[in-house]
């Protein structure tokens, strides 16, 4: 029982002394990274990995903390466009990855109440779809009551190993996903292919559509960012054609559909090869990674901005959230 106590003391220190230090000293940009925002009672919350979601009440609490602390909130591209001397002492930028419909349903109305701008990083080919990522599909299969491990499951079971009877718990499902991550995305999608009929009857649209995006951009202070066309991780070895599609075409598609310039890019999974980084630098004003940290004058690279990922378990009290804002693990 020592460990939780140490953790709690550490969080309190980070949330008080650490946060006090962050608010003073050198100029800083804290970029918050959110994925999904859902009520815990929503089935979509239960079918999501714990590390990918905050509850709607946790998110509202985060915004209340930022408001009470009188933090300057602006988008990464607004901040990047300012001359260094005009940047506030402390800025928080709010970012959402992937383009989830729940951001529109549960986060943007809260942001509007506080008049906080944010950036939504959309995967252009994934709009208006059921959850397109394999972890969501796997969790649907493992957690839905009543499913049987039929012949169609064999390719997946070859990757996961023998599974206990379904449905699994959310934590068991998350452990299976962790285990699957040793395999390449293409291998996992191929193993899921025979299960597409099963999945089709247990899914709903979970990504934002064009009309909702238009409303978000027009009425909710949301800035459009690009998160590739199909969420390829931009690692070494991708062809020049694929890099062009994921980095340049995605931008053109989003700009044409929304009649506005897209200035900000988000690297899927935080991965980038030198070639991918170069292309992003040529076409965007700024880009965000998944590398954890606070941006300061000393480490600032606007094409590789550090972020702080937040999900429910690590940020569901104001003290834990302040500890996260301070850059604590």
Question: Where along the sequence are the contacts to Zn ion (CB under 5 A)?
Answer: 97-98, 268
In sequence order, the β-bridge partners of residue 96 are 34, 120
Question: Residue 221: left (phi > 0), alpha (psi -120 to 50), or beta?
Answer: left
Q: What is the dihedral of CA 242, 247, 250, 255, to 10 degrees?
A: -150
What one-character DSSP code corresponds to residue 234? B
Q: Quickly tell me which residue has 């979601």 as its tokens.
A: 53
User: Do residues 126 and 231 touch, judged by C-beta distance below 8 A?
Assistant: yes
Does residue 296 contact residue 26 with C-beta atoms inside 8 Å?
Answer: yes
78 vs 269, beta carbon nearer Zn ion: 269
Nearer CB in complex with Zn ion: 27/292 = 292
For the chain, give the longest Cα–Cα distance: 64
Least spacing, CB of residue 231 vs Zn ion, in Å: 6
Contact present, 280 and 264 (Cβ < 8 Å): no
Closest approach of Cβ 177 to Zn ion, in Å? 15
Q: How far apart are CA 195 and CA 311, in angstroms?
A: 29
**CB nearer Zn ion, residue 23 or residue 233:** 233
- CB 327, min distance to Zn ion, A: 22
15 vs 268, which CB is nearer to Zn ion? 268
Least CB distance from residue 268 to Zn ion, whole Å?
Answer: 5
CB of 35 to Zn ion, least distance (A): 7
CB atoms within 10 A of CB 277: 18
Nearer to Zn ion, 18 or 225 (CB): 225
**Nearest Cα to 225, choosing from 99, 56, 93, 68?**
99
Which C-beta is closer to Zn ion: that of 98 or that of 102? 98
* Closest CB to Zn ion among residues 265, 321: 265
- Distances in Å between the Cα of 226 and the Cα atoms of 59, 64, 199 are 23, 28, 28
Spatial contact of 213 and 224, defined as CB atoms under 8 Å apart? yes
CB of 78 to Zn ion, least distance (A): 22
Pick the closer one to Zn ion by CB: 98 or 206: 98
Q: Which residue is nearest to Zn ion (CB)?
A: 97
Q: Which is nearer to Zn ion, 56 or 98 (CB)?
A: 98
Token pair belonging to 268: 């899927």
Q: Min. distance of Cβ 117 from Zn ion in angstroms?
A: 20
Hey, what are 187's tokens?
């291998």
Cα first-last separation, the chain: 20
Q: Tell me the angle at which helices 134-143 and 170-180 cross, rounded to the nearest 10 degrees.
A: 140
- Nearest distance, CB of residue 270 and Zn ion, angstroms: 9
- Distance of closest approach, residue 135 Cβ to Zn ion, in angstroms: 11
């Amino acid at each position: 029982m020592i460990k939780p106590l140490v953790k709690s003391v550490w969080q309190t220190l980070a949330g008080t002394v650490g946060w006090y230090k962050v608010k003073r000293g050198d100029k800083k940009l804290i970029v918050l990274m959110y994925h999904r925002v859902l009520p815990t009672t929503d089935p979509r919350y239960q079918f999501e990995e714990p590390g990918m979601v905050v509850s709607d009440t946790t998110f509202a609490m985060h915004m209340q903390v930022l408001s009470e602390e009188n933090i300057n909130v602006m988008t990464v591209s607004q901040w990047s466009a300012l001359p260094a001397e005009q940047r506030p002492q402390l800025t928080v930028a709010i970012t959402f990855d992937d383009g989830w419909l729940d951001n529109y349903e549960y986060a943007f109305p809260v942001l509007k109440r506080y008049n906080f701008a944010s950036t939504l990083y959309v995967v252009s080919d994934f709009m208006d779809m059921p959850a397109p990522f394999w972890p969501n599909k796997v969790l649907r299969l493992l957690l839905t009551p009543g499913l049987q491990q039929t012949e169609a499951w064999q390719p997946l079971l070859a990757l996961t190993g023998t599974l206990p009877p379904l449905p699994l718990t959310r934590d068991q499902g998350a452990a299976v996903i962790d285990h699957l991550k040793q395999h390449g995305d293409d291998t996992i999608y191929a193993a899921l292919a025979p299960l597409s009929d099963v999945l089709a009857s247990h899914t709903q649209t979970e990504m934002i559509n064009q009309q909702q995006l238009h409303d978000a951009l027009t009425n909710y202070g949301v800035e459009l960012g690009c998160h590739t066309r199909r969420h390829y991780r931009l690692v070494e070895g991708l062809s020049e054609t694929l890099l062009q599609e994921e980095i340049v075409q995605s931008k053109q598609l989003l700009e044409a559909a929304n009649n506005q310039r897209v200035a900000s890019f988000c690297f899927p999974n935080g991965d980038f090869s030198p070639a991918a980084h170069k292309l992003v630098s040529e076409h965007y004003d700024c880009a965000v990674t998944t590398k954890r940290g606070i941006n300061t004058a000393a480490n600032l690279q606007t094409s590789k901005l550090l972020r702080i990922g937040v999900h429910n378990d690590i940020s569901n009290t104001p003290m834990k959230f302040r500890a996260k804002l301070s850059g604590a693990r």
